[in-house]
Amino acid sequence: MTVALDIVDLCKHFGSQLVVDHLSFRVEAGEIFGLLGPNGAGKSTTINMIAGGCRIGSGAIHVFGQPVLRSASRSRAARCQLGVMHQELIADPFFTIHQALQLQPGFYGTQLDPHWYAHIVERLALTPYLHKPVNHLSGGTKRRFMLAKALIHKPALLILDEPSAGVDLELRHSLWQFIRDVNRSGTTVLLTTHYLEEAEQMCQRVAILKQGRLVALDATERLKQQIQQRQLHVRLSRPLRAIPSALMPWQPQLSSGGRALQLRLPAETSVCLLLTQLQQLGLDISDFDTSGPSLEDVFLHLTRDVASAKTTGVLHVQ
Ligand SMILES: Nc1ncnc2c1ncn2[C@@H]1O[C@H](COP(=O)(O)OP(=O)(O)OP(=O)(O)O)[C@@H](O)[C@H]1O
């Protein structure tokens, strides 16, 4: 298996703060890999070190076997394989989209492929905006342009830092579909997102960071299996005004005007016993179902308390 990205013992300080803490993971060629973590976990700093936006503190990064070094000029071979969509737009705001996309491949020492240009512009619905200056674009169009710019030189590894942040639902859907198609045609993808449902659908494997440290690294499905927890969803015939205190251990959530109750169910808890308890509390149950743990459950479990995640054995680093 070819390794697209190899990160070994990566560290970064800002002043006295260690923001990336002995981070190691690999992304295999062809996968969509999620780098997740709460705000300030060190995701963008890691991406910036890969992409050359900030210097590596210590440790090593290789992109398809080519080293990323502290000196930008000596990292050229690695950088040419990379396309990066940062959180913020990095482009001359006075260029039109057309000009910016035409110029971009030159920075990577390649020629613009007119067929690829036409394909990207069409798939990202950029045709009506081609002659607009970048700083006249709406937020959603700007993000589509940023993705086009990251892809225009046909990188082997595409890195996306929160590509769907601030993007409406319809555009999010088409953006992810396009990223899937790009991946199917051979581009490896590393992405960060705070939309865990999207990460769950998109990523074969995820790494979860907290305070710069890796707290989980595994196949998305396997991580979910390690959480011994389900959800019980109960529909009530009569709306519940207040949650009985006896239900607090199950972390209850009430919605739909008091007619829908959701409870977290540890593996050892019997659904029947809990339903009986709900009836004894006077709740009028009209229907119920259970669902397995989501990536969000895994994320919350691991990022709320690193120490407990480690001792309960949920952490699984391949
Ligand atoms: N240039 C900088 N100088 C000083 N501190 C910085 C700098 N860039 C980032 N930091 C700090 O490093 C830590 C990690 O930030 P980073 O942006 O990498 O987190 P993140 O996981 O990408 O967060 P978010 O999800 O909010 O984008 C934060 O505490 C941040 O304040």
Q: How confident is the model at residue 318 (pLDDT cuts 50, 70, 90)?
A: very low
Res 139: pLDDT: 86
- According to DSSP, residue 313 is labeled T
CA-nearest residue, atom 1 of ligand 1: 14
pTM: 0.83
Question: CA-to-CA distance for 296 and 199, rounded, in angstroms?
Answer: 9
**Sheet of 82-85, strands arranged across:** 82-85, 157-161, 188-192, 32-36, 205-210, 213-219
Give the domain ranges of the chain: 3-81+155-224, 228-292
Q: Is 210 in the pocket of ligand 1 (CB under 6 A)?
A: no
Q: Two tokens at 126?
A: 């950029």
Amino acid at 290: T
CA-nearest residue, atom 4 of ligand 1: 14
Q: Is 51 helix (H, G, I), strand (E, B) or coil?
A: helix
pLDDT value at 63 more than 50: yes
Count CA atoms closer than 13 A to 111's CA, side-chain side: 3
What are the start-end ranges of the E strands in the chain?
Answer: 3-14, 17-28, 32-36, 58-63, 66-68, 82-85, 157-161, 188-192, 205-210, 213-219, 229-236, 253-255, 260-266, 285-291
Res 308: pLDDT: 43
CATH class label, 228-292: alpha beta
Q: How confident is the model at residue 305 (pLDDT cuts 50, 70, 90)?
A: low
Question: CA-to-CA distance for 247 and 243, rounded, in angstroms?
Answer: 7
Q: Is 315 in the pocket of ligand 1 (CB under 6 A)?
A: no
Radius of gyration for the chain, computed over Cα atoms and rounded to the nearest angstrom:
23
Task: Say which residue, 41 or 264, is predicted with more confidence.
Answer: 41
Query: Taking residues 128-156, what's their average pLDDT?
Result: 93
> Which atom of ligand 1 lies nearest, measured to the CA of 44?
22
Specify whether the CB–CB gap between 188 and 30 falls below 8 A: yes
Specify whether the CB–CB gap between 69 and 30 falls below 8 A: no
pLDDT value at 311 more than 70: no
Q: Is 45 in the pocket of ligand 1 (CB under 6 A)?
A: yes
Q: What mean pLDDT value characterizes the chain? A: 89
Pocket test of ligand 1: the residue of 12, 36, 44 to mutate, having most ligand atoms within 8 Å of its CB, is 44
Res 75: pLDDT: 78
**How far away, in angstroms, is 317 Cα from ligand 1 center?**
24
Q: Is 50 helix (H, G, I), strand (E, B) or coil?
A: helix
Pocket test of ligand 1: the residue of 12, 21, 43, 164 to mutate, having most ligand atoms within 8 Å of its CB, is 43
Q: Is 14 in the pocket of ligand 1 (CB under 6 A)?
A: yes
Q: Is 55 in the pocket of ligand 1 (CB under 6 A)?
A: no
Amino acid at 96: T
This complex has an ipTM of: 0.97
Q: Is 37 in the pocket of ligand 1 (CB under 6 A)?
A: yes
Q: Does 228-292 match 3-81+155-224 at the fold level?
A: no
Q: Is 143 helix (H, G, I), strand (E, B) or coil?
A: helix
Q: Is 109 left (phi over 0), alpha (psi -120 to 50) or beta?
A: left
Pocket test of ligand 1: the residue of 45, 161, 206 to mutate, having most ligand atoms within 8 Å of its CB, is 45
* Superfamily for domain range 3-81+155-224: P-loop containing nucleotide triphosphate hydrolases (3.40.50.300)
Query: Taking residues 42-61, what's their average pLDDT?
Result: 94
Give residues with Cβ within 8 angstroms of 37, minimum separation 6. 43, 192, 208, 209, 210, 303
Strands 58-63 and 3-14 turn out to be antiparallel
Q: Is 111 in the pocket of ligand 1 (CB under 6 A)?
A: no
pLDDT tens-digit profile of 204-240? 999 999 999 999 999 998 888 777 778 899 999 999 9
Q: Is 13 in the pocket of ligand 1 (CB under 6 A)?
A: no
